[in-house]
Structure 1
Amino acid sequence: MKKELLTATLVVVFGFANAQTDQGGWLIGPSTNLGYTSTSYDDPTLNKITNFNLELGAGSFLIDNLAAGVTVGYEKVKEGFDGNTTTFIGPFVRYYVKGTFFVGASYAAASREEVFARAPVKVNFRILAFEAGYPIWIVDNIAIEPSLNYGMASDDDIIDSNTFGVNVGLNLYF
């Protein structure tokens, strides 16, 4: 009896999950790399560091389980009087495998204003990123989406960099 109940529950859950990624649907929502961090040191000669990151994406399902759209983002890092502010915008694609997990890629043009010794410098660069995650459906059209992300930033003005991280998103599906 327990096996039948579990099987019926899984069929219902995955049925609702899959229905949210049908052609013509929309998704919109914010995500963050767990948002705000603050680091303080016992040594008074070291500055406190704060970091805040937020992204907002919106897209449409072009075919069942395949969404494409645009992401905009903002990140602020501050260390004493120094720090930087980064903004970016670019397209993304995301494929849902039967509503149970997703993989995606994005490309963005980014601009960073760096402030060192109170002298601002503007740097432009590109970001290519990949993601894999799992939608946790709260209700029929809202999902919390933890994901693993890998990004590569490059341009003539910056040293190439790679990042790996964990993001958490909240998406609305229409």
Structure 2
Amino acid sequence: MKKLSFVIVAIFGLVFTTQAQDGTQTSQGSWLIEANTGFGGDGLSAHSANTGFSLVSSGDTTIWGIGGEGGYFIADDLALKVGLGYTDFDSLSIFTYKVGAKYYVISTIPVQVDITGASIQDATENPLWVGLQGGYAIFLSDHISIEPGVRYNLSLNDDFSDEGIFEFRIGFALFF
């Protein structure tokens, strides 16, 4: 636990002492670290595309997930992103990956498109989704934003799930 606390303090220290190259959070050459929470969807399908934090409990079943995303701004306001996550669904392990792009319209309105997939323990088929996400970035400082928004995950494999998932999200982003 002491090691985890040290890593968190070190990351925050780095974020607060490092300046974005051109003075803005979303300038070319800047980095982004992001964690999201999601509300919406139902059951396994809602959490199989998770690269954020989640906790759902119903009756004797508890689903929890942890993950994060990171990105690099290849141009002003345009970041390429990757994400990883882990979800425990009633002792079933799910590993999730995400690859996509995020664009900040007028540097404050994030719009994201990505491909998200999962590897589910002992599953005959694993989910694959196209995600569309939009929101608003509320910058608390030069290095921190809160990004409430909405997300829609469109299933790419009908055998796993033919339904899309609509979510309300609250994201937390660090820029450096």
Q: TM-score, normalised by structure 2?
A: 0.70
Q: Is 1:88 the counterpart of 2:96 in the alignment?
A: yes
Whether contact under 8 Å (2:127, 2:161) holds in the other structure is no
**Cα shift readout 1:110-135 (whole Å, capped 9, x = no counterpart):** 2122xxxxxx5453231111100111
Q: CA 1:106 to 1:169, structure 2 compared with 1: closer, same or farther past 3 Å?
A: same
1: CA distance, partners of 2:92 / 2:166? 20
Matches within 5 A, 1:55-70: 55-70=67-82
Partner AA of 1:76 in structure 2:
D
Whether contact under 8 Å (1:128, 1:151) holds in the other structure is yes
1: CA distance, partners of 2:158 / 2:25? 41
Which structure 2 segments of 5+ residues have no match?
A: 1-22, 40-53
2: CA distance, partners of 1:144 / 1:168? 7
Q: Report the equivalent of 1:7.
A: none
Q: Is 1:49 the counterpart of 2:61 in the alignment?
A: yes
Q: Report the equivalent of 2:87.
A: 75
Which structure 1 segments of 5+ residues have no match?
A: 1-17, 41-47, 114-119
Q: Report the equivalent of 1:160.
A: 162
Give me the CA root mean square deviation. Answer: 2.1
Q: CA 1:51 to 1:100, structure 2 compared with 1: closer, same or farther past 3 Å?
A: same
Report sequence identity in percent: 30
Residue 92 of structure 1, CA deviation = 1.3
1: CA distance, partners of 2:89 / 2:104? 33
Task: Give the number of the structure whose alpha-carbon radius of gyration is greater.
Answer: 1
2: CA distance, partners of 1:55 / 1:92? 16
2: CA distance, partners of 1:86 / 1:156? 19
Q: CA 1:146 to 1:95, structure 2 compared with 1: closer, same or farther past 3 Å?
A: same
Q: Report the equivalent of 1:128.
A: 130
Which structure: greater strand fraction?
A: 1
Whether contact under 8 Å (2:151, 2:167) holds in the other structure is yes
Q: Report the equivalent of 1:106.
A: 114
Partner AA of 2:81 in structure 1:
G
Q: Is 1:22 the counterpart of 2:41 in the alignment?
A: no
Partner AA of 1:94 in structure 2:
K
Q: Report the equivalent of 1:4.
A: none
Whether contact under 8 Å (1:32, 1:54) holds in the other structure is no
2: CA distance, partners of 1:50 / 1:25? 37
**Cα shift readout 1:7-53 (whole Å, capped 9, x = no counterpart):** xxxxxxxxxxx81111111101221215212223xxxxxxx232223
Give the count of matched residue pairs: 140
2: CA distance, partners of 1:99 / 1:49? 41
Q: TM-score, normalised by structure 1?
A: 0.71
2: CA distance, partners of 1:69 / 1:135? 17
2: CA distance, partners of 1:108 / 1:156? 15
1:139 to 129, 138, 141: 141
